[in-house]
Amino acid sequence: MTSQPPPPPQPEQPAEAVPTCYRHPDRETWVRCQRCERPICPDCMRDAAVGFQCPECVAAGNKGIRQARSTFGGNVVRTPIVTYAILVINVLVFGGQYLSDAIVGQLAMWPAGVALGDQYYRLISAAFVHGGVFHILFNCWALYVIGPYLERAFGHVRYTALYLISALGGSVLGLWLDPLTQPTVGASGAIFGLFGAVFVVGRRLNFDVRGIAVLIVINLAITFLVPGISWTGHIGGLITGSLLAGALAYAPKNNRTLWQVLVIAGALAVLAVLVMVRVSAILSAA
């Protein structure tokens, strides 16, 4: 028998390189994204239906998912932060009134100040000033009760527009019909606008609106029976808020956001024209 020569030595196999996270090259990992198969470290792992995905693949997948919207097209509201912010501002300004008597005079709705002093900010600032404890308690209570409902229905931005434009509508009617030297304060114009909006939304959604209708009638009766109340602010806010809420709630679903933006811009334009016309008339008569 002849002996067989030993087999030639096999070359050493290089050790397999340990993969590293594609987002963090200094971190070793054996986990790969189920979608793109790139290695990902624990900080980059996102739970998927099977295994894990990387952040980029998760973001790409979410683009095709339709985001939830509020009843009338806004972003879903979990916490009514706009309502709470307005409440805080009202309380802070009311507290400031006791520290300085000048705050009321500087912020109140005063037709002569708007027309003769170019103090157009008064058309909005007056909605954050109040004439007494009962006045602010009623307005803040009403805002706390109905504000969150409307904010969740319209979303933060649309609700903010509804509130401020209702307040502006009340001030504009006061600019036209109140005596030039008569100052007015309070968020009642905005609150009446929200009352009207609740009624309109209820009708739009086929809810029972008898309760809010009775509340509006009672408050209108108080407006005209109790002396010292600005009926122009209440009526102006009610009309403005009701019309704006109706336009927002009944906007066609196709291109609804565009229609709603146009409605808000149109409401501001109409009120601005009314202010300019009235100011010109006052200046001409001065």
Pair (158, 226) in one structural domain: yes
CATH code for the domain of 251: 1.20.1540.10
Q: Tell me whether residue 146 is in a domain.
A: yes
Q: Kindly report, residue by residue over 71-92, the tens digit of the pLDDT.
A: 888 788 889 999 999 999 999 9
Identify the residue with better confidence: 257 or 6: 257
Q: Tell me whether residue 277 is in a domain.
A: yes
Pair (121, 252) in one structural domain: yes
Q: Kindly report, residue by residue over 147-199, the tens digit of the pLDDT.
A: 999 999 999 999 999 999 999 999 999 999 999 999 999 999 999 999 999 99
Among 234, 242, 280, 284, the one annotated catalytic:
234
**Rounded distance, CA 133 to CA 56, Å?**
55
What is the reported pLDDT for 180?
Answer: 94
Q: Tell me whether residue 2 is in a domain.
A: no
Positive or negative, the Cα torsion across 220, 223, 226, 231?
A: negative
For the whole model, what pTM was predicted? Answer: 0.78
Pair (41, 130) in one structural domain: no
Among 188, 230, 280, 284, the one annotated catalytic:
188
What's the pLDDT band for 235 if we cut at 50, 70, 90? very high
Q: Kindly report, residue by residue over 103-114, the tens digit of the pLDDT.
A: 999 999 999 999
**Rounded distance, CA 144 to CA 220, Å?**
20
Q: Tell me whether residue 76 is in a domain.
A: no
Q: Tell me whether residue 6 is in a domain.
A: no
Pair (35, 155) in one structural domain: no
Pair (165, 96) in one structural domain: yes
Q: Kindly report, residue by residue over 205-222, the tens digit of the pLDDT.
A: 999 999 999 999 999 999
Q: Tell me whether residue 173 is in a domain.
A: yes
Pair (52, 148) in one structural domain: no
Identify the residue with better confidence: 63 or 95: 95
pLDDT, mean over the chain: 90
**Rounded distance, CA 1 to CA 127, Å?**
113
Q: Kindly report, residue by residue over 123-150, the tens digit of the pLDDT.
A: 999 999 999 999 999 999 999 999 999 9
Angle between helix axes 231-249 and 156-177 (nearest 10 degrees) is 140
Q: Tell me whether residue 55 is in a domain.
A: yes
Pair (223, 274) in one structural domain: yes
Is 188 a residue of the active site?
A: yes
Which residues, at least 6 apart from 172, have a Cβ–Cβ distance to it below 8 Å? 123, 236, 271, 274, 275, 278
Query: Token pair for residue 69?
Result: 């919207």
Pair (152, 206) in one structural domain: yes
What is the reported pLDDT for 196?
Answer: 97
What's the pLDDT band for 29 if we cut at 50, 70, 90? confident
**What is the domain extent for residue 35?**
18-59
**Adjacent-strand bridge partners of 53:** 46
**Rounded distance, CA 263 to CA 268, Å?**
9
Q: Domain total for the chain?
A: 2
What is the reported pLDDT for 113?
Answer: 94
Section 238-261 average pLDDT: 95
Pair (213, 257) in one structural domain: yes
